[in-house]
């Protein structure tokens, strides 16, 4: 958790100036709560390190696409990184600009390409030769030139979870490094494409700088070859993926990280190019918590269970990645702690939020699941016909409802039964 925004006052967890207990009372649980201050500080860490350099920040929308969250970034002048036309619609609705938005993703449809071209996005990060051909055709049909960069797969091991490591030969993403030069030559020949950049993204939750520097070295070498072939590469997109502290990880300081990469690019003689950063988790992850209430405490022979009202449909990361999230009481008790597995009501053994946690708790108590601002609400589902949680933005002493809790009837409003 961002330590300035989430803190205890007289044994009660607060989000900025608001008690988490009062939020749960007012808005119910499960409840996602974000801190505007934490979002702002994380963004400034990137933006301030980019100030005076040829570098821009594009917020990865997939990490948290709530309109209020995106609007906080848009007001500070952020660019955005999207992976669907739905995300483009959110960026525009939140006050972001298409001309500051890059469109990534391995499977863009023709309809999505058309929508993005008509909106005027800054660049398409293209991931395959078939995609180049498809984009060229769509651009031709609109009488436009599509700005493109190729996502090159540098085959660098980011030393992260296999599901979120994206830069290896065995991953579905990007153009293979050995094919990149020839692919650029092909793109250059296509009449309705404007080749302007190069892109890579090696994974997520990366906690050291060295994989980035390894990838950059390979990328910059490739840029020199491409320019020798007669193309001009105006920007280098280094992707996102910087990790955060969930437990005891020690990722690099954001400002230091940005400075190290920009200095490295300059040292290699590429300081004239614009550099794009695409942070997601490192902006929003520790700016949010998920509040949940304990329904039952169930002692067992081998395990004690704390059964809460949040579940794998609300926060999928533990079930999906065995991800660790710190879990803390909203109101501290002066009693002996016991070891619990914190689990939800969904009918799956995989429905757990934390294992073997030392907690002093009683039924009805509130828990805060920390570091839930990234890949929390956005990955939530209606499994077991469970309405998705409400979302709250805290700004100083004020809390605003920025997404209403779903109603059960909304969940099947679009369905119909067969006629007699």
Q: Name the token pair of 31.
A: 């409840």
CA distance 218 to 361: 52
Cβ contact 23:12 at 8 Å: no
DSSP string, 129-173: HHHHHHHHHHHHHTT--EEEEEEEE------S-GGGB--STTSSS
Under 8 Å between Cβ of 121 and 100: no
Largest interatomic CA distance in the chain:
74
pTM of the full predicted structure? Answer: 0.96
Tens place of pLDDT per residue across the chain (420 aa): 545 899 999 999 999 999 999 999 999 999 999 999 999 999 999 999 999 999 999 999 999 999 999 999 999 999 999 999 999 999 999 999 999 999 999 999 999 999 999 999 999 999 999 999 999 999 999 999 999 999 998 878 766 555 545 545 566 788 999 999 999 999 999 999 999 999 998 888 999 999 999 999 999 999 999 999 999 999 999 999 999 999 999 999 999 999 999 999 999 999 999 999 999 999 999 999 999 999 999 998 999 999 999 999 999 999 999 999 999 999 999 999 999 999 999 999 999 999 999 999 999 999 999 999 999 999 999 999 999 999 999 999 999 999 999 999 999 999 999 999
Domain segments of the chain: what residues? Answer: 6-35+285-411, 105-277
Fold of domain 6-35+285-411: Lyase, Ornithine Decarboxylase; Chain A, domain 1 (2.40.37)
Angle at which helices 180-189 and 210-228 cross, to 10°:
50
Q: So which residues are the catalytic ones?
A: 347
Query: Exposed, middle or buried: residue 142 (CB in 10 Å: 0-12, 13-18, 19+)?
Result: middle
Contact 338, 359 (CB under 8 A): yes
Domain 105-277: give its CATH code: 3.20.20.10
Instruction: Round to whole Å and give the CA distance between 244 and 282.
Output: 6
């Amino acid at each position: 958790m961002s330590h300035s925004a989430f803190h205890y006052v007289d044994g009660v967890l607060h989000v900025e100036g608001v008690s988490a207990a009062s939020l749960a009372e007012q808005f119910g649980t499960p409840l996602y709560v974000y801190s505007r201050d934490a979002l702002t500080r994380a963004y400034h860490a990137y933006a301030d390190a980019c100030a005076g350099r040829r570098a821009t920040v594009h917020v990865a929308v997939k990490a948290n696409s709530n309109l209020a969250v995106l609007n906080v970034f848009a007001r500070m002048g952020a660019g955005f990184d999207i992976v669907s036309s739905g995300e483009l619609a959110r960026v525009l609705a939140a006050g972001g600009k298409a001309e500051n938005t890059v469109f990534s993703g391995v499977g863009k449809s023709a309809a999505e390409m058309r929508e993005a071209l008509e909106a005027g996005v800054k660049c398409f990060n293209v991931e395959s030769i078939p995609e180049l051909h498809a984009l060229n055709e769509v651009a031709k049909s609109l009488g436009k030139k599509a700005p493109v960069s190729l996502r090159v797969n540098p085959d660098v091991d980011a030393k992260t979870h296999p599901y979120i490591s994206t830069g290896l030969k065995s991953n579905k993403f990007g153009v293979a490094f050995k094919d990149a030069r020839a692919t650029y030559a092909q793109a250059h020949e296509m009449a309705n494409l404007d080749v302007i950049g190069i892109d890579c993204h090696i994974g997520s939750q990366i906690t050291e700088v060295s994989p980035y520097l390894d990838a950059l070295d390979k990328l910059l070498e490739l840029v020199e070859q491409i320019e020798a072939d007669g193309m001009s590469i105006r920007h280098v997109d280094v992707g996102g993926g910087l990790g955060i502290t969930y437990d005891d990880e020690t990722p690099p300081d954001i400002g230091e990280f940005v400075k190290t990469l920009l200095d490295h690019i300059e040292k290699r003689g590429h300081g004239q190019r614009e550099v794009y950063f695409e942070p997601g988790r490192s902006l929003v992850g520790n700016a949010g918590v998920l509040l949940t209430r304990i329904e039952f405490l169930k002692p067992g022979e081998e395990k004690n269970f704390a059964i809460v009202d949040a579940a794998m449909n609300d926060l999928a990361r533990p079930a999906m990645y065995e991800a660790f999230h710190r879990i803390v009481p909203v109101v501290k008790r002066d009693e002996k702690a016991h070891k619990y597995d914190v689990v939800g009501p969904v009918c799956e053994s995989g429905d757990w939020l934390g294992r073997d946690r030392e907690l002093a708790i009683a039924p009805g108590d509130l828990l805060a699941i920390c570091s839930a601002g990234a890949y929390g609400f956005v990955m939530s589902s209606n499994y077991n016909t469970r309405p998705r949680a409400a979302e709250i933005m805290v700004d100083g002493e004020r809390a605003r409802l920025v997404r209403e809790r779903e109603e059960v009837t909304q969940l099947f409003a679009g369905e119909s039964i067969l006629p007699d």
